[in-house]
């Protein structure tokens, strides 16, 4: 037994206590956030007063032709993102295609800038399937949704048909 080492219990190893300290710090800091949230909710005004003060302003809709938005994106994508991305846009034009992408999301393509092969692709939620089933290629349409930038086509998400 002269050359044999005895094995230390895990709680006598330095790395064990390092892990314990890290876990305790993480656990303690998450408790602080909950306490702060509780204090904030306790000091807030009744919900009816809050809603009256915080009624969100109606989001402004940018009305643009499909040709113009496509040209803007082809001319300068950064400037076009500043102008359209994340904003509600309304486009009116002729339906070029009605389909589904690889994630089974329904879309309508409106003819845009044919010289640059850039169209406006409008994506719809599943609850709009009946409306999209009634559409035909070549039909005139007005669609409103949030611009999501350029990726081959100008992408507009969460669309609804206006007329």
pLDDT tens for residues 73-82? 999 999 999 9
Residue with tokens 């809603």: 51
Q: How far apart are CA 14 and CA 19, in angstroms?
A: 9
The radius of gyration of the chain from alpha carbons, rounded to an integer in Å, stands at 28
Q: Are residues 123 and 67 in the same domain?
A: yes
The pLDDT, as a whole number, for residue 86 is 93
* Same domain as 73, residue 37: no
> Which tens digits make up the pLDDT trace of 93-150?
999 999 999 899 999 999 877 777 788 999 999 999 999 999 999 999 999 999 999 9
- Measured CA to CA in angstroms, residue 153 lies from 63, 71, 141, 159, 163 at distances of 18, 11, 18, 15, 22
Whether residue 77 is found in the same domain as residue 142: yes
User: Is 3 part of a structural domain of the chain?
Assistant: no
Backbone angles phi, psi at 118, to 5 degrees: -120, 120
C-alpha closest to that of 156 among 104, 95, 100, 109: 109
pLDDT score recorded for residue 93: 92
Residue 4 within a domain: no
Q: What is the mean pLDDT of residues 28-43?
A: 55
pTM of the model: 0.63
Q: Evaluate if residue 42 carries a pLDDT over 90.
A: no
Question: Structural domain tally of the chain?
Answer: 2
State whether residue 76 is helix, strand or coil: coil
- In a domain? residue 80: yes
Domain span holding position 115: 61-161
Q: Both 131 and 67 in a single domain?
A: yes
């Amino acid at each position: 037994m002269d050359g044999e080492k005895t094995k230390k219990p895990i709680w006598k190893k330095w790395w064990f206590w390092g892990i314990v300290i890290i876990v305790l710090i993480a656990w303690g800091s998450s408790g602080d956030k909950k306490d702060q949230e509780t204090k904030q909710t306790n000091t807030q005004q009744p919900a009816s007063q809050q809603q009256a003060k915080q009624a969100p302003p109606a989001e402004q809709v940018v009305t643009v032709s499909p040709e113009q938005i496509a040209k803007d994106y082809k001319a300068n994508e950064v400037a076009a993102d500043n102008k359209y991305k994340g904003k509600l846009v309304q486009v009116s034009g002729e339906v070029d295609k009605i389909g589904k992408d690889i994630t089974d999301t329904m879309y309508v393509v409106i003819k845009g800038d044919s010289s640059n092969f850039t169209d406006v692709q409008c994506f719809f939620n599943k609850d709009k399937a009946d409306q999209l089933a009634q559409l035909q290629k070549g039909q005139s349409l007005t669609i409103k949704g949030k611009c999501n930038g350029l990726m081959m086509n100008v992408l507009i998400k969460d669309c609804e048909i206006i007329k």
